[in-house]
Structure formats: structure tokens, C-alpha cells
Amino acid sequence: MDMTERRKRIALIMPEIIDPSDHELIKGVNMQAKKLGMDTIVITGIYNSQNELQQDEYISALENIYTIPEYAELDGIIFASERFRKQSLISRIIEHLVKLDIPCLALGDNCGSLPVIHSRQREYIYCIIKHLIDVHRYRDIWFITGRPDSYSSSERTAGYLSAMKESGLSVREDRIFYGDYWKTVPSQIAKKIVDGELERPDAIACASDVMAVALIETLESGGIHVPEDIAVTGYDGGWYTLFRGLTTISGRDMQLGADAVCRLSCMMGVQTLERSDLPQKVNIRTSCGCSPQKANWKNDLSLEKRFEKKINHLMYRQQFLISDLIERFSAVDTMEDWIVQADQSLHIMDGVKGADICLCEDWEIDFENTDVFRKCGYSEIMFLALSKRQGNNAKDQYKFNVKDMLPALSQKHEPLLAVLTALSLGSQVMGYIACYYEDADDIQLDDSYVNWCNAAANGLRVLQNKDYQRWQRERLEHLAVRDPVTGFLNQRGLEESLPDFITRCRKAHCNSYITIIGCSEEISAGYDTSLLLANGLRSTVSDNMILCRGSEQIYMVLSDKPLPTLKEDIQNSMTDLLGTQLRSPSILIISHMFISRNLSEHISEIKELMGEMMNMIMYNISDISDYRQALEQLRHKLIRQPQKDWNVTDITKEIGISQSHMQRLYREMFGRTFTEDLITLRIEKAEYLLTHTDLRITEIAAECGYNNETHFMRQFKKRTNLTPTQFRELK
């Protein structure tokens, strides 16, 4: 395959993955899809509800996964309609599928306009009936099949009739019984045989293993032994037939899966170069009357391996029976916490080779309308929260278009097998989970898987609640003008009071000042440093000043004059409050005079000053003396290398100071701003080179840090009133 092309994707829609027949169907689809170089995406709602009475908002959210074909870019779909129990869900899925502009194929009856494919059933029922006739010489053979209007039932019945007719045996209509492939009808028949209402036949062939096992159990509970009194056979090859020694047919679903992919690939315009050879097999055991020595146990090896894998999975699960998933996911505070918990707990999913957790963009709900949230479908943009792989995790925590379904499908890869299930809580659709497997037999969507999904979804609900609480607090704070703890103005109150304060200062012919106060230390002995600072301020400033609380750690004072002794006054006040036993913490001060008449500029200046105070608190910097050495070292470097590509952002990050504060301190120390100083030093170096070297103007410009000669000449003339050439000639 040319890996520049996107690998084709086949989706298999199934209600659940529990029985070995479910795994066989997936195995058949995946084996044939791999041979054709295609990906297999199994879409399942996990729970196969039987009727409308079992429908609730949780099940509806799980079943939302069946809408993914409407959004994702798929090349073909196989709909295992015969496995769904709820007719309304079957109809709903068909309604969506017929609208898609891609080939769709159904496995089952009554699928509207969808093309249908059936398993090859007649010939294999024929084989098992012929075994009863030719090997065991049974003549009175009854048959229990499915509904009379079912294609599968008709095919299996036709196989029975064909074998009986070919053997010259007559068939009475009252010896063909119609059920629904479930336990009810065979149990009723067995009860009538036990009670003597029906005569005993030689053998009863059942069109499903479920019916056969129910028949045997009811017969034996009534004292009739199988096969000594009545021989019984089944059809399907389920794992539970191993314990009953049931003679049955296996491989139907694997063969059907491979046949369906071949048919679908033709509908997709893909040539089927190689077809998987997956014939059904007659599993001869003892329920037909064969001795254990004659039984063909070789055909049971794959079933036994699957059963052994099931036992190993149960033993693996035992390790995590007391895992605190709910508690761990409930303790998260951020999405990063949630992702860590998901990453650390996915190992409980036995057999999974990798997993992708994809969240809807709107999973967080609208805080203004908490009753409105996604109950169906998926958002156009999805968020890949976690992409876990064995060994190293793949890149994650980015957004992608839902049409891509799984970002892994867009990357170079071998044909893969993925299972998609819903991630939901209550009626809210939050996203979906994709688990990757090497083999269909590794898939275990049991209660441990469901519990993990529910715990993960509950963790998302916890995040929603915490984010909503934070939003409510912020909203209340935004509506209020005073800090509820100190009674000082909050930021909103400051912004509302600032215009009147500045106007009042101008009328009084005074300047307007703001002083930012912070504290860089914590005090032991149970003291709240921030509140101690607030009390120190309250007892220090005069009534005509305005006190504000900018954040939990930062306070502000608006005044009409500088406050040179404020730091010392607050320190003394805090010492008085603490007494002599404890040392008061260091106070940090930034003072600023408002010059502009623009209110928005004042607000921007205050935010910058608060950011600078946060840096000072973080780095425990008390005043300009703490920066002096760093700035002096910076200027020495500037003098030595003015031609270097100096970046103010990088410089301020290295020093731990904001750009505005750095420029202000730089001007205080050296008499001009950093930018002005840099240009001056470059021009001075250019003057030296023009005087003492024969370098060309272009070379001098480069030596002084100018990539553009024109720009250099313009700045040189602006500073010296001469062009570089004129300057050289004069010197």
C-alpha cells in the first residue's frame, strides 16, 4: 500500500461484545480487513437492552456511539442488526445509515433498503442432521428453530428438511417448533416431554446453542438423560457448550465476518485479491450419542484457548477489585490531574495495547445554562485528552476534527483493530474511548471496563462542578466592589473609584499616586500573613487614602502624595500586632505616579505593577538594590557587545522582572532607557570604526548589529546629524 494514501476504514456496529460468537464475528471481519490493508473500527454501545422498559438516560447516552458514522470519515459499514434485541434502536440506526454516502451492509433481516448478507447456514445444519441419521441411525428427529418469518430460521429449517428428505425420512409439521433462539420454547417442549404430553423422539436438533442447553437442562431436571434417552445438538459454538459436551456447529460468525468484508469491499470498489478460508466446523461431542473417544475435540482448541483467556482475565481483574478508581478520579482539580489519573489507571484494562480518550469540545457545559448540555451526537472539534500506548505514550492534548474520528488513523500505521465506546455520565455525552487490540479474543468489555469508564466520566463531572463553583465565586466577586474578608475595595471597586479619585486630585492641584504593597514571607504560629498586612495597612494610612485588595497577596493604596515612609510604618504596625515574640515579615513596595489622563492606560499600568509585585514576591526581591547588580552586569555586557541581538523579553525573564519595571529601573540607574542606551552604544562603536578602520559602511553596519544598512544610516544621521561617509571625511 502507498502510505501517502489514507488507509481505508471499515466500521462494524455491534450491540455488545460478550459471547464467543461476538469475538468470532470481529475476528472474521478483522482478518479479512487486514488482508485488504484496511482498519477495523468496532462501534458498540456495550449494553444490548432487550426492550423499551430498560431504556433510561444512561443507556441512551451509551447508544449515542452509534451516531459516530454520521460524523466520522468511514469507507464502509457492516451493521450486525441480527444481534440487536431492541427493534426501535435497529430502526434508528438504519435510518441514519441509509442517509450516508458510503456502502453499508447489514447482517440480518428486515433492514429496509440496506443490502443484506446472511451466513451460510443451510449446508451446516444439513451436515449435523446427516450425522444424526447416518452415524447414529436416528429416525425420529425434531427441530427447534427461530421465528418463521426469519431468513436465518428459514435457512436452518431448510437444511434440516433437506437432510431428512434425502435420507427418505418423513417430517411432520408438528415436529418443527418455532421460537426466538432463546430458552423459553425449548424449555416448554422439554417440560411437555417430561410430563408425557409429548412422546420422546430419538433426537432434537436446535438452531442455537442457547436453545439446546436450555432443552438439556430441563430434560435432565425431569429425569430424562442426554444422550441416553434423547440426543440433542445445537448451532453457534458458544463457550458454554464445552461443559455440556454439546455437539454443535462453530465458526459461523467468523465465516460471516470474512464474507461480509469481501462483499463490502466490492461495494467500495476494492478488488478482493485474497479471501480468508474460514469454513464452519461440526464439533462432534457427546450429546449426539458419540463416545468421548470418537468426539472431535480438536475443533474445541480455539474455544478452550478463548475460555482460558477469559479465566486469566478474571484472575487479572482480581488484582484491582479494591482499586479506588472513583475516589482517585473524584480528587482531581484540573484537566491535567484527570489525564494523569486516566493514564495511571488504564492498566486495569487487560489485553489493551493502546487507548485514545476523545472529549467533545463542549463537555464542560455552559455555566449560564447548566441544564443545557450535549445529549446526542458529537462536537465538530474533539479534544484528544490522552493517547496511551504500551511503552511510550503518543502525542496528545490537542484538538482534531471529528471526521478524523481517531488521530491515530491519520498517521502511518499497519491495519489496526479498535473498539469505540461512549464516554458519558447520566444523559450527558462527553466523548468516546478507543481501545486498540492485537486480536479480537483480547477484547474484554466487562464490568471492570464499564466501571473504569464510569469513574473517568465521574471525574469529568467533578471538574465541571469545581469549575462551576469557581465561576460562581468569580461572578460574585465581579459583581461586588469590596473584598468580603478585609472590606477594602476589590479590583472592580478600584476601577470604579479611580476616575473620581484622579479628578479630585487634579482639582486640588495634586498628583495621583498608587502604591503596590506585598509580603514575601509567611509567618508561623497560625498567622495569616496577608490579613496581618491588611491590618497593618488599616492602622497606618490616613482616611483620605483609598485602600484596595488586588489579589490574595497584594494590596494597593491610592494617595495624593508620595508615601516614602509607608514601608517602615506598616512594618512597625505589624510588629506591634505580633508583639516581640515573632519577627514581622518583609514588606515589598512599588510606587507609581499617574501621568496619563487616559483611564484605560491607568488600568493597564496597575495590572503591570501588580504583575511586577507578583514577581517580587516570587523572587523575594525587596527594592532596586536587589536588581542593581543584575542591571550593572547587563550594561557591562551591552558595552562589550552592542552588536549582539539583544531581546528585552529574554533579559527580563532571566532577571525576574517585568519589562516596564526593568525599563523604569534602568532609566533610574543609567539616565536613559535600555533601548536608547543600546542605540547610543552602537552609534559610538560605529564612530570608532569609521575613525580607526577602513571597513566599508556595510561592514560597519553589520559589526554594530544592523542587518539593514539603510536603517543604520538613518539612525546614525539622526544621532550625529551626519551621514557615516560625512563623519569619516571630517575625522
421 in any annotated domain: no
Residues 570 and 684 in one domain: no
Q: Give pLDDT, residue 321.
A: 47
Q: Give pLDDT, residue 3.
A: 44
583 in any annotated domain: yes
**What are the 10-residue block averages of pLDDT along the chain, 731 residues in total?**
71 92 93 94 88 71 94 95 88 93 89 88 94 96 93 93 95 92 94 96 95 96 96 85 83 91 92 71 91 66 59 55 72 89 83 92 87 91 89 75 91 94 93 94 87 92 90 77 88 90 90 87 63 88 90 90 87 80 76 82 88 75 61 85 87 76 77 87 92 90 90 91 90 69
> How far apart are the C-alpha atoms of 631 and 97, rounded to whole Å?
69
Q: Which residues contact 333 (CB under 8 A, 6 or more apart)?
A: 463, 466
Domain of residue 720: give its range.
624-731
State the DSSP string of 39-70: EEEEEE-S----SGGG--HHHHHHHGGGGGGG
Q: Give pLDDT, residue 241.
A: 72
Tell me the CATH number at 300.
Answer: 3.40.50.2300
332 in any annotated domain: no
Q: Give pLDDT, residue 49.
A: 75
Q: Give pLDDT, residue 362.
A: 92
Residues 182 and 309 in one domain: yes
Q: Give pLDDT, residue 139.
A: 96
Domain boundary residue, one of 291, 313, 335: 313
Residues 618 and 695 in one domain: no
Domain boundary residue, one of 297, 313, 329: 313
> How far apart are the C-alpha atoms of 626 and 620, rounded to whole Å?
9
452 in any annotated domain: no
Residues 536 and 584 in one domain: yes
106 in any annotated domain: no
Residues 484 and 614 in one domain: yes
554 in any annotated domain: yes
Residues 662 and 514 in one domain: no
Residues 614 and 629 in one domain: no
Residues 283 and 304 in one domain: yes
Residues 293 and 159 in one domain: yes
Q: Give pLDDT, residue 97.
A: 94
Number of domains in the chain: 3
Q: Give pLDDT, residue 1.
A: 45
413 in any annotated domain: no
Tell me the CATH number at 709.
Answer: 1.10.10.60
The CA radius of gyration of the chain, in Å to the nearest whole number, is 40
The bridge status of strand 555-559 relative to strand 546-549 is antiparallel
Residues 610 and 629 in one domain: no
**Report field, pTM of the whole predicted structure over 0.75:** no
105 in any annotated domain: no
Q: What is the DSSP letter of 247?
A: B
Residues 131 and 248 in one domain: yes
Residues 292 and 161 in one domain: yes
> How far apart are the C-alpha atoms of 580 and 630, rounded to whole Å?
36
Domain boundary residue, one of 564, 591, 622: 622
Task: Say if residues 32 and 257 touch (Cβ distance below 8 Å).
Answer: yes
Tell me the CATH number at 526.
Answer: 3.30.70.270
Task: Say if residues 433 and 356 touch (Cβ distance below 8 Å).
Answer: yes
